[in-house]
Chains A and B, each alone.
Chain A
Amino acid sequence: DTGVSQNPRHKITKRGQNVTFRCDPISEHNRLYWYRQTLGQGPEFLTYFQNEAQLEKSRLLSDRFSAERPKGSFSTLEIQRTEQGDSAMYLCAIGMTGKNTEAFFGQGTRLTVV
């Protein structure tokens, strides 16, 4: 258990539908990341929060994607008008500024768009 809970674990949706994923850090961590991982590839950076502020967004994050982190605790990632190319594993990771520099990953949400 790395201290990051992601829900749902699996999501199957029809093309064109909206989906929302949630990431719950079990303990306080001021940094929160969203990554996308397709089969056989490494995680690709999507966005990063420092507390509640979204400080960076990848150009991979099109205008159909939005992420929030109200109150600097849990975070949500919404994909509107899903496309088949959105099928991937969406990973949430947390970290702290300071000596322990590694990120702790959740188990991810696997999205399948049919």
Chain B
Amino acid sequence: AQTVTQSQPEMSVQEAETVTLSCTYDTSESDYYLFWYKQPPSRQMILVIRQEAYKQQNATENRFSVNFQKAAKSFSLKISDSQLGDAAMYFCAYRTYSGTYKYIFGTGTRLKVLA
């Protein structure tokens, strides 16, 4: 069975600085998808960025980028130029490439942005 591990329960970053959130996963599959979701307090989860395992190039979305290391089963999220609105819970998620397509989430990292 696939598992997703986020070892940082909480992280802090100064506004305008850069922070990296860690995620590791375990799977025996070769094709899959990885995601980072953001959940602001009392708000719904929204997608930050996604990565297809078959793509070697790391995904980027404006200030958000990932470092995808397939062999190491590592998928970290880098947030550049942090903003107060980035404060939220961040969840790393794995999705199977076929079958039921269910998403498996990590336990999350709470990001605090300091003014």
Where the two chains meet, the residues of A that have a C-beta atom closer than 8 Å to any C-beta of B are 2, 31, 33, 35, 40-45, 48, 50, 55-56, 91, 93, 95, 97, 101-108
Contact = CB atoms under 8 A, between A and B. Distances in A.
Q: Is the interface of B mostly helix, strand, loop or mixed?
A: strand
A102 B35 contact: yes
B56 interface: no
B48 to A, nearest CB: 10
B56 to A, nearest CB: 18
Contacts of B95: 101, 103
Closest 3 CB pairs of A and B: A42-B105, A105-B45, A107-B44
A48 B101 contact: yes
Given A43-B91, A102-B50, A33 B45 contact: no
Given A35-B105, A44-B105, A105-B45, 8 more contacts: A41-B107, A42-B107, A43-B105, A45-B102, A56-B102, A91-B45, A101-B50, A106-B44
Contacts of B37: 105
Interface residues of B, number: 24
From A43, A55, A93, name the one whose CB has the most chain B CB atoms within 10 angstroms.
A43
Contacts of B46: 2, 105
Nearest to B92: A42
A9 B40 CA distance: 16
A48 B44 contact: no
Contacts of A108: 44
15 contacts: A31-B101, A33-B103, A35-B103, A42-B93, A42-B105, A43-B103, A48-B102, A50-B100, A56-B102, A93-B103, A101-B50, A101-B52, A101-B95, A101-B101, A105-B46
Interface in B65-115: 91, 93, 95, 100-108
